[in-house]
Structure 1
Amino acid sequence: MNRSFYSFLGLAAKAGKIKTGEETVLKEIRSQSVHLVIMAGDASPNTQKKFKDKSSYYQVPLFIAGNRDVLGHAIGKNSRVIIGVTDKGFAKKLISMLDH
């Protein structure tokens, strides 16, 4: 994973365009107000299954990136397992960065 991805994720956080926390992000997926879900590679198997299933059902792209400490650090917080991106533009750019 490249540093520019995490820098851009931090920018999205500063702009207030992300949500974190399992329950919050699940609620956002259900209301279809997130355009991308980023999950830490060290999330529990149960958490991974739950978010893969929900994201698939609601057709929200889900990527696994880094670990909980890396994700938390990128957004200037403590460790984070799940991040939802609420802005279409930020989500699109992050997805394009993940695809390379």
Structure 2
Amino acid sequence: MNSSSLQFLGLVKKAGAVVYGDALMESIRNKKVYVVLLSDRASERTKKQIKDKCTFYQIRLFEDVPGEVFTDFSGKTVAAFGIDNQKMASKIVRDEKR
């Protein structure tokens, strides 16, 4: 991910547009998240589960995001998180296309 996307994640968190943990899988199933970010520190099992879910439900996935981003961003150890605000998610996708 580029630096502007990483900086934008702080605003996303403050807006409360982040889903992680068990709620993330449920949100993917219900198509309530628009983008999922997957840490490079996630276990192989977790990576496979999230990749398969995102592929099946056609949700954009960014893989191998540096693990430090997740710790700094959430203050917790999480393997992945989703963004449930469509406008914020589309900004991250646009920034990544540049």
TM over 0.5: yes
Q: Percent identity?
A: 31
Which structure 1 residue ranges, 5 or more long, are not aligned? none
Q: State how far apart, in whole Å, the 1-side matches of 2:55 and 2:65 are.
A: 21
Letter in 2 for 1:91: A
Runs of 4+ in structure 1 displaced over 2 angstroms? 65-69
> How far 1:80 sits from its partner (Å)?
2.3
Structure 1 window deviating more from structure 2 (78-87 vs 24-33): it is 78-87
Count, aligned residues: 98
Higher strand share: 2
TM-score with structure 2 setting the length: 0.90
CA distance in 1, matches of 2:5, 2:25: 23
What's the Cα RMSD here?
Answer: 1.4
Q: For 1:2-21, what aligned pairs fall within 5 Å after superposition?
A: 2-21=2-21
Contact 2:37-2:65 at 8 Å conserved across structures: no
Residue identity in the other structure for 1:24: A
